[in-house]
């Protein structure tokens, strides 16, 4: 089965060509990997044989460094769309402390009324509350634990940035945030298997496409060019590079640098399409690559990139994992995402 073509209905469309006909992306992905674990392994292995050559040009370009000034130019034009998450750089170091000061955690989070309100709302969902209301951050941290609270904070902060339409990419509603959360869940599951820092991987993965918010503004100004190039079946990476001279992974990595986040977050984001280039952080970047892969195969993605399997085996090799584990990663991600949808009232 060969899958080609582009989506219809927006810049990146809503469908892919499968066996000579257009079908919705979710149906195309279901055809490739199946809804159940039993069909996933067969579909993944068959697909790699037929579409492994997709997006080779874009992957090569993803490893090519771009001047910092060019990246900063795009970031500066869209800085109002991606405000720096001030609390993250302060919470991150606490993850490695064996005895975390709960008072310090509460103090850092409480400075943001929006984050505090949303953290309490989520902690009082049926998934966390256990029937007893949680009425303070201190109670939330005590009952749920700092690491769980940290993941909720990251999700809340990312939602404020990512849960908006990105017209330059033809992305509607909260589609980008759903993709990012699915990728983060999958990447975290993979990191656990590879015995890597789950929270670091979760944070990097949920922010891996933040560069698209920056570039969406520039692509929206070139709508006619975008539509013209998409008729040539360019992937999002190829399109960005051809029209803008940069790609979203580079921009995202640079944006995290400007936010003063540590290198072990910036490098994986910058190289999430090319983990081998991540300068000492290849394993973390490989988790992002595979988390992205799983999210697209589950139908939570957009563009032809959804069917790109290039680099899968290289990422698995970096982590010393077998492709036999992918079906279980997908099943576990799907189950966890159901809980997240319930917590955040997503349809």
Please report, for the domain that includes residue 196, its CATH number: 1.10.3210.10
**Residue pair 147/156 in contact by the 8 Å Cβ criterion:** no
Examine residue 47 and state whether it is found in any structural domain, yes or no.
no
What's the Rg (C-alpha) of the chain?
19
Number of domains within the chain: 1
Which has the closest alpha carbon to 166: 174, 158, 157? 174
Examine residue 273 and state whether it is found in any structural domain, yes or no.
yes
Examine residue 223 and state whether it is found in any structural domain, yes or no.
yes
Which residue is associated with the tokens 């570039």?
A: 215
Examine residue 306 and state whether it is found in any structural domain, yes or no.
yes
Which has the closest alpha carbon to 200: 107, 269, 270? 269
Cα separation, 158 vs 140, in Å, equals 20
Examine residue 11 and state whether it is found in any structural domain, yes or no.
no
How do the pLDDT tens digits run along the chain, 347 residues long?
333 333 333 444 444 444 434 444 444 444 444 444 445 554 444 444 433 444 444 444 444 445 566 888 888 887 777 777 888 888 888 888 888 888 889 998 988 888 888 889 888 886 776 777 888 999 998 888 899 899 999 988 888 888 888 888 878 878 888 899 999 999 999 999 999 999 999 999 999 999 999 998 888 888 888 888 777 877 788 889 999 999 999 999 999 999 889 999 999 999 999 999 998 999 999 999 999 999 988 888 765 554 556 689 999 999 999 999 999 999 999 999 988 887 776 65
**Residue 305 lies in domain:** 55-96+163-343
Which has the closest alpha carbon to 204: 327, 127, 292? 292
Examine residue 50 and state whether it is found in any structural domain, yes or no.
no
Examine residue 152 and state whether it is found in any structural domain, yes or no.
no
Which residues, at least 6 apart from 92, have a Cβ–Cβ distance to it below 8 Å? 200, 203, 261, 262, 265
């Amino acid at each position: 089965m060969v899958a080609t073509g582009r989506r219809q209905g927006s810049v990146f469309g809503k469908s892919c060509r499968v066996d000579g006909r257009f079908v919705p992306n979710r149906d195309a992905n279901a055809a490739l990997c199946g809804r159940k674990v039993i069909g996933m392994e067969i579909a993944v292995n068959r697909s790699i044989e037929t579409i492994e050559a997709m997006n080779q040009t874009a992957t090569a370009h993803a490893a090519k460094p771009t001047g910092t000034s060019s990246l900063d130019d795009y970031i500066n034009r869209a800085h109002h769309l991606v405000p720096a998450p001030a609390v993250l750089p302060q919470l991150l170091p606490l993850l490695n402390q064996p005895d975390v000061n709960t008072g310090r955690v509460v103090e850092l989070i409480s400075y943001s009324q929006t984050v505090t309100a949303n953290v309490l709302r989520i902690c009082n969902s049926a998934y966390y509350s256990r029937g007893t209301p949680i009425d303070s951050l201190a109670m939330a941290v005590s009952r749920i634990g700092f690491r769980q609270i940290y993941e909720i904070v990251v999700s809340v902060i990312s939602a404020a940035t990512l849960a908006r339409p990105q017209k330059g990419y033809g992305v509607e509603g909260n589609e980008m945030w759903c993709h990012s959360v699915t990728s983060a869940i999958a990447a975290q599951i993979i990191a656990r298997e590879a015995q890597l820092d789950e929270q670091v991987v979760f944070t990097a993965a949920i922010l891996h496409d933040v560069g698209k918010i920056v570039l969406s503004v520039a692509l929206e100004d070139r709508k006619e060019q975008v539509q013209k190039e998409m008729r040539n079946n360019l992937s999002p990476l190829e399109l960005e590079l051809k029209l803008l001279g940069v790609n979203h992974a580079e921009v995202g990595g640079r944006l995290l640098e400007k936010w003063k986040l540590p290198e072990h977050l910036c490098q994986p984001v910058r190289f999430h399409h090319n983990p081998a280039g991540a300068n000492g952080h290849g394993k973390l970047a490989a988790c992002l690559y595979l988390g992205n892969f799983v999210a697209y195969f589950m139908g939570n993605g957009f563009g032809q990139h959804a069917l790109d399997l290039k680099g899968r085996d290289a990422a698995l090799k970096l982590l010393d994992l077998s492709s036999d584990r992918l079906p279980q990663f997908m099943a576990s991600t799907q189950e966890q995402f159901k809980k997240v949808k319930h917590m955040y009232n997503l349809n």
